[in-house]
Amino acid sequence: MVLVAQFFGALYGLLAIILGAFGAHALKKSFSEEQRKSFETGVKYQMYHALVLIMLGFNFNLDTPPQKYMVYCFLIGAFLFSFSIYGLALSASKGKKWSFLGPITPLGGLLLVVGWGLLLYQFVGRYF
């Protein structure tokens, strides 16, 4: 599980840099200000969770069920949250907004919240 967290952390970080540059330069002319800000939000959250996954891989064995669930929540949550935002922004810029992605974004966000809660649980469990 450690290698999974580190691998996906590095992959998400790489993709965040590529997508951030793509959004800032290639899509600048076709995006409205609101679409650009949404796209940037997806990139930021993807990068934050890329760093979290890498740090988890270096600081935890990730061998207990709560630790494994935490990694899955961050992996799946970041994917659902960020990539649904990318899809919404890109499709809206083409005039064909994929509204089916709308409910996926909060589901990804919920998984991220659960992941952070499980991380908090790890810390509280050490001291109390």
* pLDDT, tens digit, 9 for 90 and up, residues 30-40: 899 899 999 99
Q: What is the pLDDT of residue 57?
A: 96
Q: What is the pLDDT of residue 97?
A: 85
Query: Could you state, in order of their start, the residue ranges of all structural domains in the chain?
Result: 2-127
Residue 40: in which H helix or E strand, if any?
helix 33-59
Specify the pLDDT at position 17: 97
* Overall pTM > 0.85: yes
What is the rounded distance in angstroms from the CA atom of residue 105 to the CA atom of residue 85? 7
Instruction: Give residue for tokens 């290698």.
Output: 3
Q: Outline where 60-103 has alpha helix (H).
A: 65-93
Express each pLDDT in 51-99 by its tens digit: 999 999 999 999 999 999 999 999 999 999 999 999 999 999 988 989 9
Residue 29 burial (C-beta neighbours within 10 Å; 0-12, 13-18, 19+) = exposed
Give mean pLDDT, residues 108-125.
96
5-14, 33-42, 104-113: the lowest-pLDDT one: 33-42
Confidence (pLDDT) at 102: 92
SS3 label, residue 30: coil
